[in-house]
Amino acid sequence: RSRLPAPEHARVFVVANQKGGVGKTTTSVNIAAALALGGLSVLVIDLDPQGNASTALGVEHPPGSPGTYDVLIGGEPLEKHVQDSPEAPDLKVLPATIDLAGAEIELVSVVARENRLLRALRTYLRDYPTDYVFLDCPPSLGLLTVNALVAANEILIPIQCEYYALEGVSQLLRTIEVVKQELNDELELTTVLLTMFDARTRLAAQVAEEVRTHFAAQTLPAVIPRSVRISEAPSYGQTVLTYHPDSAGAVSYLEAATEIARRGAKEKS
């Protein structure tokens, strides 16, 4: 198996798009697993109370069990609650449970409410150097997503190749600008990934072209096809990379991850 190049410093990606069902979680877990399978150390932080990323990475998260909530609200150290994913040797997950749904409200009255995740992650990364961190956001622009935007240095936006794909992205871009000005001037939109591409429709091709025009430098060459294998994998607690490694979906996520690693490589080859 080929080894992927490591970045100089931890690359912390927030996977954001306030639309639900566009492939945020699917992208977070499959890119994370692909990088980890390529020999890099990777951490996924599940910030969605649905806990879909935790499920997809084969990590237990029954109601009441500890996870993201305890780190954000309880101020507990991240390393206390990270779990190993069976998907790859150096892939860790901070799981989310439904308790996290309350955090959106509870955070409002907490000190330094926008910086909770940043602080926890900084401390963790000092003790546990990690190549890649992926923050899987809920489908809203509330305080959980703001915490992720503050803790990250790069943004990955998955865009579904469907009608109204770019609707909502402009709202996200405005939020990103506000966060950059007020809270985190290092934040950069570096990566756009086209997902759920259906080669049979003209619409998908049109949307893809529009996105490539808009985000010429950021859009990855690889496009994720609409694939039953990809949508089935989570029900086995797996990513598509282990569920069906030879499927078109798995290959496209591997290509996307390889390009992300190449762009962020310490020594460009």
Task: List residues binding ligand ADP (CB under 6 A).
Answer: 20-26, 52, 139, 195-196, 224, 226-227, 230-231, 234, 249
Rounded distance, CA 94 to CA 69, Å?
10
Rounded distance, CA 217 to CA 239, Å?
28
Joined tokens for residue 56: 């997809």
19 binds Mg ion (CB under 5 A): no
Q: Which is nearer to Mg ion, 20 or 75 (CB)?
A: 20
Smallest distance, Å, CB 24 to Mg ion? 5
Q: Which is nearer to Mg ion, 25 or 191 (CB)?
A: 25
Interface pattern 29-68 for Mg ion (x via CB under 5 A): -------------------x--------------------
97 binds Mg ion (CB under 5 A): no
Q: Which is nearer to Mg ion, 24 or 61 (CB)?
A: 24
In the bound state, the residue with its beta carbon closest to Mg ion is 25
CB atoms within 10 A of CB 73: 16
The answer for 206, left when phi > 0, alpha when psi is -120 to 50, beta otherwise, is alpha
Smallest distance, Å, CB 198 to ligand ADP? 9
Rounded distance, CA 203 to CA 157, Å?
20
25 binds Mg ion (CB under 5 A): yes
CA angle 234, 61, 85 (to 5 degrees): 60
| Order of strands, sheet of 154-160, starting from the edge strand that comes earlier in the sequence | 83-84, 91-94, 42-46, 132-136, 11-15, 154-160, 188-197, 219-225
Task: Quote helix, strand, coil % in the chain, to nearest 5.
Answer: 40, 15, 40
17 binds Mg ion (CB under 5 A): no
Smallest distance, Å, CB 91 to ligand ADP? 17
Smallest distance, Å, CB 149 to ligand ADP? 16
Smallest distance, Å, CB 168 to ligand ADP? 11
Rounded distance, CA 188 to CA 71, Å?
25
| Residue of 13, 19, 22, 24 that binds Mg ion (CB under 5 A) | 24
Smallest distance, Å, CB 267 to Mg ion? 34
CA distances from 9 to 118, 122, 130 (A): 15, 12, 8
Q: Which is nearer to Mg ion, 22 or 43 (CB)?
A: 22
For binding to Mg ion (CB under 5 A), which residues are involved? Answer: 24-25, 48
